A = this chain, B = another copy of it.
Amino acid sequence: MLENNHSRPASHQSYEILRDRILNGELPGGSKIVEEKIAADLGVSRTPIRESIRKLEHEGLIVNKRVVKPSEKDLRNMFQVRMLLEGYSAQCAASYLKEHDLQSLHQCVEIGRTGTVEEIMEANERFHEIIVRASNNPVMIDIIDRMSSIIFLFRKTVVFYNRPHLIDEHEQIYQAIKARNGEKADRLMKTHLQADLEFCLHLLGC
Contacts and interface: CB of A to CB of B under 8 A. Distances in A.
Contacts of A88: 80, 84
Interface string A77-111: 11011001100100000000000000000000000
Contacts of A74: 139
Number of identical protomers: 2
A38 interface: no
B77 A140 contact: yes
Contact of A51 (B54, B80, B84, B85): B54
A143 interface: yes
A147 interface: yes
Interface of A: 50-51, 54-55, 58, 74, 77-78, 80-81, 84-85, 88, 135, 137-140, 143, 147
A18 to B, nearest CB: 16
A138 to B, nearest CB: 6
A51 B46 CA distance: 13
Nearest to A47: B47
> Which one of A58, A85, A135, A139 has the highest number of Cβ atoms from chain B below 10 Å of its Cβ?
A139
Closest 9 CB pairs of A and B: A77-B139, A77-B137, A84-B84, A58-B58, A78-B139, A81-B140, A81-B139, A84-B88, A80-B137
